[in-house]
Every structure is written in structure tokens, then in C-alpha cells.
Amino acid sequence: MEKTGRKPNIYSLAVLTAITLLILVILAVRGRESGLRWANVVLTGYFGGSVACLLAAFRKQLRYNMYSYNTILYMGFALFLLSLFGTFLTMSVKSIAFPDGFHAQEMLFTLVHSAKNYMFLTLPLLAAFSVALLVSNLALIRHEGRRFVNILGILLAICLLAGEALIAYLDFNSAYSAKGVLARNLVVNLMAAFYLYFECMIIGAAIADLIAARYVPEKDRDFLIVLGCGLKKDGSPTPLLKGRLDLAMMFDEEQKQMGREALFVVSGGQGPDEVCSEAESMCQYLQRQGIPPERIITEDRSCDTAENMRFSKQIIDGLRNNARVAFFTTNYHVFRAGLKARRVHMDAHGMGAPTRWYFWPNAAVREFVGLLTEHRGKQAVVLITLAAVYSVLTVLVYG
């Protein structure tokens, strides 16, 4: 998906929020019983409008730049707000059809416990996801050995299920004094708010990863960057690296049929346990497959994906202005690699080579952990906002 249009924003969501709050204040000041039903209808419209705003922003973001933190954020929270829209739509219909059976507490409790309720609503999905992580990680350990990086999926699965269990225990435990109810609900709702954020991020990241992995750049590239990922003891490419190289050659062959020939940029330095640089190994592999050496450029200084992109861009900029670039990596790594490319202002689109079924889930978890270490400012703003909203709502309802 090539970069088109303008960078999306969600100012419309801020305007919608301000208008909704103003209407709710007016209804609260009037204090009529019918105002409660209308407040429920207004909130239904607000959540429906919010979903529309986020989905529209997500669609525009894919066209403008799919490799963005916002891509994850828009989709993850759109699904949460969609659940609230469905809940409030049901209550609106009930309040209109049976006005005597509608109570303000129902609406307030739904709002204040929305994060916790979303956790329980998505529990079957999270349970299935956790079981899939456990199964794939056990297979990974059996094939690749017992290393810490090979148990990340198991740790995430345990954390997801343990978080659900802890919040459920605190929520359903009735051994609290009247004064302790506020504190109990404040703790539960704050924990649920943080859990909600990471759940939305996981879902959003999974969707963004799938979209990025399935994308195919246009066949008009000037340079094809192949990202290194380790070598065998004899210096030959691992199956994972061969997959990336084979995919790049397949793309090149299809592009040549359309009359466009690109240069390969093989990117990867030499690790402490490697007999040669990854770039040199990839260069030799490509030549053995019939790619002439004059079409291969080696970048052998990089130690990670960020340096792959930065050093490759320096080479490309020295050869051609406004070059059209594609990069090739493994399917689970496309989205995060695209983020690194954008970080160095390189307009590049990626393709993902397939990998074994048991390797993807654990590798995707590592990519997700890596995503959480970036954009810390945006994440702090979202987390603080969620904590503030649920704290205020809890104090208003139980204080």
C-alpha cells in the first residue's frame, strides 16, 4: 500500500467528545427522568461515532503509512468502543421499549466497569490465544531448544490468564467493609484499565502484523533491501535468511518481466560467533543463484534492524534521489522493520517470507515487546488518560 493522501488525525473524535460532554451536562442540569434515557441514547451515538472515527483514521493511516504506532492504536481501541456501542445500543432499545425498567445505575455501572467487562467478554478469545501460544512455544522448545527467548510466549500466556484470574477474584470477593468497596473498585478498575490498554495493543498489533505481512509492493522498485538474521556455523544462510533472499529474488524476477531491474542491498554485519558478515554470506548466495555481482551492494556494518535501515539508506541516497525501495524480511518482522525504515525517513515497503508455524507466535511476541519499548510518550499519554477516566468514574459512582 503506497503512501497516499494526508496524515490522518482524530480531531473529529475530540470534537465529538466535547459535544457529547456538553449535551450530557445539559441533560444532568435539567434533572428530568427522561433525560437519563436520552443520555443513554447520546452515549450510544457517541460510541458509534467514535468507532467510525477510529476506523476511518485506521483506513487513512494504512494508505498514508501502515508502519505506524497509530495503526495499532486505532484498530485496537475501535474494537473496544464497538463493544461499548453494542452494549449501549441494547440499553437504549430497552430504555425506550420499557422506560419503567430503566435505571440510571445501569448506565453508570456499565461505564465505570467497561474495561473489566471487556476483559471478561474477550476471555474466550484470550484463552484460545493463550493456549495457541503455549502449544506453539512447546513445539518451538522441542525444535529449537530451551532458551529464554523461546519461552516468551509462555510467559505472556501466563500473564494474560493470571491477570484475568486476579481481577475476577478481586471483583467477586465480597469480604470487604462498606468503606472498602470504593478502594476495591478503584483497584479493580485501574488494573482493568491497564489490562485493557495492553489487550487493545495486542489485538491491534496482530491485525497490523497480518496486513503488513500480506502486503506486496508495486513492481517498480529501484532497490531491494534484504535484512540479515544470522548464519549457520559454516557461514551459509540459515533457512530463515534463505527465505528472505528467495522472496527478494522472486520479486525481482517478476519485476524484470515488467521491464524494471533493481539493485539488491544485502544488509547485515558480522556477529561475534559468525565466520563472515551476513551481507557477505547473502551476496555469495545470490551469486550462486545467478544474480550478477554488479547488481549486489553489501552493507556489512549493521547490528540490528534500525542500523540495517539507516546504513542502507545512506548507500541508496548516495546512488539515487527519491529511490523506490522494497525490503524483505520474515512475515512476523515486516511491521516493526517498516517502523524502523520510517524512523530514518526512508519510504520503503516490505514483504514477509513465510516461516514455520511454531516459530511465528513466539517471534511475534518478541516483536510486540519491542513495540512496547518504543513510542513511550504516546503510550504514557494513553495510559494516564485511561487511569484518570476510570478513577474519576469510580469515585463518582462509589464515592
Average pLDDT per 10 consecutive residues for the chain, totaling 399 residues? 69 93 85 71 94 95 90 94 94 78 76 92 87 83 72 82 87 69 88 91 89 92 95 92 96 93 96 91 96 96 95 95 94 92 93 82 76 80 92 86
In degrees, to the nearest 5, what angle opens at C-alpha 245 toward C-alphas 243 and 247? 70
Which is nearest to 225 in space by CA: 323, 371, 292?
323
Indicate the CATH number for domain 223-355: 3.40.50.620
**Which residues, at least 6 apart from 215, have a Cβ–Cβ distance to it below 8 Å?**
1, 66, 334, 349, 350, 351
pLDDT of residue 137: 81
pLDDT of residue 357: 73
DSSP strand pairing (296-299 vs 325-330):
unpaired
| Intra-chain end-to-end CA distance of the chain, in Å | 50
Residue boundaries of the structural domains of the chain = 1-112, 113-214+357-399, 223-355
Q: Give 74: exposed, middle or buried? Use CB within 10 Å, 0-12, 13-18, 19+.
A: buried
371 CB neighbour count, 10 Å cutoff: 20
Residue 326 and residue 350 in contact, taking contact as beta carbons nearer than 8 Å? yes
- Alpha-carbon distance 342 to 65, whole Å? 9
CA within 13 Å, CB half, 322? 0
Which is nearest to 249 in space by CA: 286, 299, 278, 298?
286
Helix intervals (H) in 98-122: 104-112, 114-121
Residue carrying C-alpha cell 513492481 = 219
Helix intervals (H) in 31-68: 33-65
